[in-house]
Amino acid sequence: MDSILVTGNGPLKGQIPIAGAKNACLTLMPATMLSEDPLTLTNAPRLSDIRTMTTLLQSLGAEVSTLQDGQVLAMSSHDIHNHTADYDIVRKMRASILVLGPMLARDGHAVVSLPGGCAIGARPVDLHLKALEALGAELELKDGYVHAKAPRGGLKGGTIDFPLVSVGATENALMAATLAKGTTVINNAAREPEIVDLAECLRKMGAQIEGEGSSTIVIQGVDRLHGATHPVVTDRIELGTYMLAPAICGGEVELLGGRRSLIEAFCDKLEAAGVEITENENSLTVRRGGNRVKAVDVVTEPFPGFPTDLQAQMMALMCTAEGTSVLEEKIFENRFMHAPELMRMGAQIDVQGGHAKVTGVETLKGAPVMATDLRASVSLILAGLAAEGETTVSRVYHLDRGYEHVVGKLSAVGAKIERIKDQ
């Protein structure tokens, strides 16, 4: 199993291009199943999760071609001959559940395994199922699979009231509603940029959607959708992650493709900690001088709040901050598994339930550490950039699910980092 070796060596300087958003692309890909016409995605990230979704779509009968070194996905679902999303594929990635809504809307039936993914909490799919039931779907859970049927004549428009905000459930409901008969209203909808990106793509395909980016989305169902070409939105989590690299070990780095509006709450916290952020025409520049950053408290919240997917990375920064910070995790109940690994590097962290109290130290020490999930893995790499000596991060297969060319991108701005291949 590969590992990554990081040696702390001072400030960073240069440019890092930010890829298309993993979470957006994984939602846009199943949208191909809503139409018999081709759907082409540009600015696609080159990640193992994208390959997993490709395998899933192909198993259902979709054609998926990868062009321009993986940055363009050309898809066609003119012949969906299989309506069962098998456990062996779905278990690898939670986003697999997003094929349920499109298959049900277009063909009236689907069988989808309950999904897997990172072990960061229960993340049940009940909100997905209740949303589809509100559109008339008949659902049965049997042997670990969701068996779904639409009523005769197809899904019907309805009102979906989410008791809590769910990005995935909003996405599934939004896609299903595009082909439902009549009007669908989604209340307490997720507001993330990935939702807006999906709505923009569906509108290019002929969908009638209003209100994306707000808590109420209204969809007027249409008889069919057509093909389209759509660029995947910038990955705000990769953006925030690489913004933390110069913040944690000093220097100045320009993040190409970055927009502050994607992560405003995160930027506010970085600036409160003493980090300089400058927005340019198509990039963000992050700078930190010689002074230690100041401790700031963080509470994770749905967009537009502080993203849960940047909590682990922010904790790495707070480990060397001046003062004590408290990080409260309100999205996932089991997302402090990186804390014990950071403590192996000398961090002072006290976890009590959904709160982590971090008392900053002047210097972290390099150590062998183990990644427990996707975001935890990159938080340990960031900590290694600021640590004295060598840090070896094992189990980095998690990293490949969400970050493309992380070694190359950090090396390009002066980090001393290399991937050690399993012998």
Residue numbers in the known binding site for UDP-N-acetyl-alpha-D-glucosamine are: 94, 123-127, 309, 331
Side chain identity at residue 363, one-letter code: T
**Known catalytic residue: 267?**
no
For residue 57, the tally of other CB atoms under 10 A from its CB is: 24
Annotated binding site for phosphoenolpyruvate: 22-23
User: What is the Cα–Cα distance from 128 to 138, expressed in whole angstroms?
Assistant: 13
Phi, psi of 284 (to 5 degrees): -125, 140
Q: Are 112 and 135 in contact (CB under 8 A)?
A: no
- Structure token digits, residue 133: 């039931």
Q: How many CA atoms lie within 13 A of 291 on its CB side?
A: 9
Annotated binding site: 22-23, 94, 123-127, 309, 331
Q: Which residues of 207-220 are buried (b: 16+ CB within 10 A; e: fewer)?
A: bebeebeeeebbbe
Phi, psi of 9 (to 5 degrees): -145, 30
Burial class of residue 109 in the structure, from the number of CB atoms within 10 Å of its CB (0-12 exposed, 13-18 middle, 19+ buried): middle
- The single-letter DSSP state of residue 78 is S
User: What is the Cα–Cα distance from 92 to 99, expressed in whole angstroms?
Assistant: 14
Dihedral sign for Cα atoms in the order 186, 191, 197, 198:
negative
For residue 108, the tally of other CB atoms under 10 A from its CB is: 17
Burial class of residue 423 in the structure, from the number of CB atoms within 10 Å of its CB (0-12 exposed, 13-18 middle, 19+ buried): exposed
Using DSSP, state whether 397 is helix, strand or coil: coil
Question: Strand pairing of 84-85 and 109-113?
Answer: parallel
Block residue for tokens 């039931």: 133
User: What is the Cα–Cα distance from 224 to 80, expressed in whole angstroms?
Assistant: 15
Say which of 25, 118, 249, 267 is annotated catalytic.
118
For residue 69, the tally of other CB atoms under 10 A from its CB is: 7
Phi, psi of 341 (to 5 degrees): -70, -40
Burial class of residue 93 in the structure, from the number of CB atoms within 10 Å of its CB (0-12 exposed, 13-18 middle, 19+ buried): buried
Phi, psi of 322 (to 5 degrees): -85, 115
- Just list the catalytic residues: 118
